[in-house]
Chain A
Amino acid sequence: MSSSVNSTALWRSVLVRDLRIAARRRSDALNPLLFLLMVVTLFPLGVGPGPDILARIAPGIIWVAALLATLLGLDRLFKDDYNDGSLEQLCLLSQPLAFTLTAKVAAHWLLSGLPLVILSPVLALLLNLPLDAWWALALTLLLGTPALSALGAIGAALTLQLQRGGTLISLILLPLFIPLLIFATSAVENAGMGLAVHGQLAILAAISVLTVTLAPLAMAAAVRMSMN
């Protein structure tokens, strides 16, 4: 590849390539969403369909389900590129690897985080969440899922060499997801009670910005480590 390709062009081409691959294999992108929908369906069956209880625990259910759904597709994030060698090519380029990898994170978010935001009205409806709380839920998902994708990519990069890294990814990532869960559910709860939610949303945004800027460094180090 000639050095005339600048980092932004490379970034865009990686993103477009990932999206195109996902478009060809739709089930990979759809399965986590279906999983999420099913988990959310299980809760009313498990705790009973009482609308009050459901509305009270809805933020927690939706966010926990979102965390689990994010974990599902993660071990595939870098795996195919690692196996066919294109990830190694990205490592060898003069363009900074950390920046290039954010394109893959962005693709992952577009395929897993954004659909969650779009799906959120349905989830809110299923769990009897009031309208005031729904928009807060959509906002927390919009602000929080980029951090999920970025942290998830660290886990995916760390377990790249392993044949069955799936369970290990969950083990190392779930503790790191906890702050997002806490602030997101509290924002939705507050919105349901008609209280201010700016504080929690600001913290969620801060965590996302921090994670999206710092995580690529860890990702790049982990990918390089897997290349020896």
Chain B
Amino acid sequence: MWRWLHPYAKPEATYRLVDRLLPWFAALTIISLAVGMIWGLAFAPADYQQGDSYRIIYIHVPSAIFSMGAYFGMAVMGAIALIWQIKTAEWSIPAIAPVGAAMTAIALFTGAIWGKPMWGTWWVWDARLTSELILLFLYVGVMALYYAFDDQRTGAKAAAILAMVGVVNLPIIHYSVEWWNTLHQGATITKFERPSIATSMLWPLLISLLGFMLLTATLVMMRFKNELLRHELHRPWAQKVLGTAQEAD
């Protein structure tokens, strides 16, 4: 059933595929992000409660969603790497983790900046923000573990195991934080209640979601190409790609 996937265990074939897809992903990213941002910033109506400050939603929500999506993807790659011992899946972990961490960071500071006019402080122990913070810690752990080993294969396997442990824990952490937050709600102002969003605001949000999905994929692919080359630097195909192949000897 998975036979069509087998050639992509070979780094060269994977590189060719990623290289062919990347321009399309990059172009679609730019188009959808431009449409989503301009629509969201200039054309969507202002929120009747939050005014124009709600426009941060067009980066806050997509980045938060794909910070988790990237973690899930990383764990899936980790599972593939551990079960089928596929090297290219191992190398995707250091490609995904920093991009996911960047998405998490974006979700965190946009949340904080949004919180300032809405709650009056930069940081509130809101359930979603707290979960994002913990997600950032998980990403940091995976990256620290990956780079801690002298032998990169061991590092990749360790990071893969940790990513899988983390993905099992992620829902538990998320729901415990949510429950903890409702328990301690008392002091915070619930001005942030998410209203059922109007369609005129929803469309640009959906396009932004698509844009961030493509953006995450594009950034991961850019890094993944480097990882493939890094591990195959001594191979002729990598040298040819880098334009440093041995000229007529």
Contact = CB atoms under 8 A, between A and B. Distances in A.
Judge A-B direct contact (beta carbons within 8 Å).
Answer: yes
Interface of A: 154, 158-159, 161-162, 165, 168, 171-172, 174-176, 178-179, 182-183, 186, 207, 214-215, 218, 221-222, 225-226, 228
A45 to B, nearest CB: 26
A136 B136 CA distance: 32
SS of B interface (majority)? helix
B176 interface: yes
A67 to B, nearest CB: 14
Contact of B183 (A165, A186, A214, A221): A186
Given A161-B154, A221-B82, A225-B158, A175 B180 contact: no
Given A172-B141, A172-B144, A179 B154 contact: no
10 nearest interchain CB pairs?
A172-B141, A179-B176, A175-B137, A225-B157, A182-B180, A182-B176, A158-B158, A179-B172, A175-B134, A218-B165
A174 B137 contact: yes
A154 B168 CA distance: 13
A204 to B, nearest CB: 11
Given A159-B148, A161-B149, A162-B148, A178 B154 contact: no
Contact of B180 (A176, A186, A218): A186
Nearest to A167: B144
Contacts of A222: 158, 161
A63 B181 CA distance: 18
Contacts of A182: 176-177, 179-180
A203 to B, nearest CB: 8
